[in-house]
């Protein structure tokens, strides 16, 4: 029966695929040799089409979702995550939510591109941390050697930011100051910018302390919504090492 559900799900997705998009998606998500998405396989399904199809499968069992999540095809893995988000949102008990979080953590090696992280982590991992403040899962991920686990950690804090809880965002942003990866710089700057939308004074206090040490990409993302004069101030501060 498991194969029937998964097979039907994949068939629906493939029916919505657009082969002309494969080359564009493969280039956009950097699947070339030595790039962060090296070897990933695309079949040409847009996110709106994927969401329309996959959210209907939120009633699939966790084992069926796992089968999708371990697929070679990028869009099938995204489909699994979109269904997981819906399943998490619909969960009636904390125990059901905890099982989904457990599944997510057990499969981070398959959540291995920025869209997979960004479309799922805040609504599952971030929500869980918001309602379980003692849970250390995000902090553990922030110390990981894996790029995508670190991105999960910082991007998940978007949910906390929306609840005016900036503690982990600032902690991870500080922790990632020496990080070498541009994708972490972008995610960190993005979350700092989101923090600034809620409380600009918090962002300015962070920048007053850390702007000279911040990677330029992270700094540019963080100050994007500030006035031209303020942006100029932070961009022209002497750099510290």
- 111 close to 75: Cβ distance less than 8 angstroms: no
Q: Report if residue 73 sits inside a domain.
A: yes
Q: Report if residue 181 sits inside a domain.
A: no
Q: What percent of the chain has pLDDT over 70?
A: 98
The helix (run of H) or strand (run of E) holding residue 156 is helix 147-162
Pick the closest to residue 174 from 145, 139, 200 (CA basis). 139
| CB-count burial class (<10 Å; 0-12, 13-18, 19+) for 168 | buried
Q: Would you say the C-alpha torsion 170, 217, 137, 61 has a positive or negative sign?
A: positive
Q: Report if residue 182 sits inside a domain.
A: no
**pLDDT tens per residue, range 42-94:** 999 999 999 999 999 999 999 999 999 999 999 999 999 999 999 999 999 99
- Section 119-140 average pLDDT: 98
Q: Report if residue 53 sits inside a domain.
A: yes
Question: Which are the contacts of 132, defined by CB distance < 8 A and separation ≥ 6?
Answer: none
**pLDDT tens per residue, range 183-233:** 999 999 999 999 999 999 999 999 999 999 999 999 999 999 999 999 999
The pLDDT, as a whole number, for residue 39 is 94
Q: Report if residue 222 sits inside a domain.
A: no
**Domain span at 25:** 1-95
Q: What are φ and ψ of residue 29, in 5° steps? A: -100, 20
Q: What are φ and ψ of residue 154, in 5° steps? A: -70, -40
Coil, strand, or helix at residue 41?
A: strand
Number of domains in the chain: 1
pLDDT grade for 155, boundaries at 50, 70 and 90: very high
| CB-count burial class (<10 Å; 0-12, 13-18, 19+) for 95 | exposed
User: What integer best gives the mean pLDDT of the chain?
Assistant: 96
- Section 127-156 average pLDDT: 98
Pick the closest to residue 79 from 5, 146, 160 (CA basis). 5
User: Is pLDDT at 1 greater than 60 in this prediction?
Assistant: no
The pLDDT, as a whole number, for residue 172 is 98
Pick the closest to residue 216 from 202, 231, 226, 227 (CA basis). 231
Q: Report if residue 165 sits inside a domain.
A: no
Q: Report if residue 26 sits inside a domain.
A: yes
Coil, strand, or helix at residue 103?
A: helix
Measured in whole angstroms, how far is the alpha carbon of residue 51 from the centre of its chain? 16
The pLDDT, as a whole number, for residue 241 is 63
- Section 31-51 average pLDDT: 95
Q: Report if residue 2 sits inside a domain.
A: yes
- Section 164-182 average pLDDT: 96
Question: What contacts 24+ positions apart, CB below 8 Å, involve 91-97?
Answer: 94/131, 97/127, 97/128
CATH code for the domain of 71:
1.25.10.90
Q: Where are the alpha helices (DSSP H) in 176-227?
A: 182-198, 200-210, 216-222
């Amino acid at each position: 029966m498991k194969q029937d559900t998964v097979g039907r799900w994949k068939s629906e997705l493939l029916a919505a695929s657009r082969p002309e998009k494969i080359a564009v998606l493969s280039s956009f998500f950097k699947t070339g040799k030595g790039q962060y998405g090296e070897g990933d396989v695309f079949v040409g399904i847009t996110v709106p089409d994927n969401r329309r199809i996959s959210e209907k499968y939120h009633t699939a069992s966790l084992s069926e979702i796992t089968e999708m999540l371990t697929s070679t095809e990028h869009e099938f893995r995204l489909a699994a995550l979109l269904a997981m988000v819906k399943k998490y949102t619909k969960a009636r008990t904390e125990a059901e939510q905890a099982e989904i979080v457990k599944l997510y953590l057990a499969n981070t090696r398959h959540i291995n591109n920025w869209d997979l992280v960004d479309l799922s982590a805040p609504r599952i991992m971030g929500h869980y941390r918001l309602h379980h403040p003692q849970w250390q899962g995000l902090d553990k991920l922030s110390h990981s050697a894996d790029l995508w686990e670190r991105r999960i950690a910082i991007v998940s804090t978007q949910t906390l930011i929306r609840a005016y809880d900036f503690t982990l965002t600032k902690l991870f942003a500080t922790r990632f100051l020496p990080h070498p990866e541009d994708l972490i710089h972008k995610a960190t700057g993005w979350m700092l910018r989101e923090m600034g939308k809620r409380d600009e004074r918090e962002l300015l206090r962070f920048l007053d302390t850390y702007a000279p040490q911040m990677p330029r990409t992270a700094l540019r993302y963080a100050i994007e919504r500030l006035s031209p004069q303020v942006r100029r101030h932070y961009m022209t501060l002497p750099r510290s090492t």
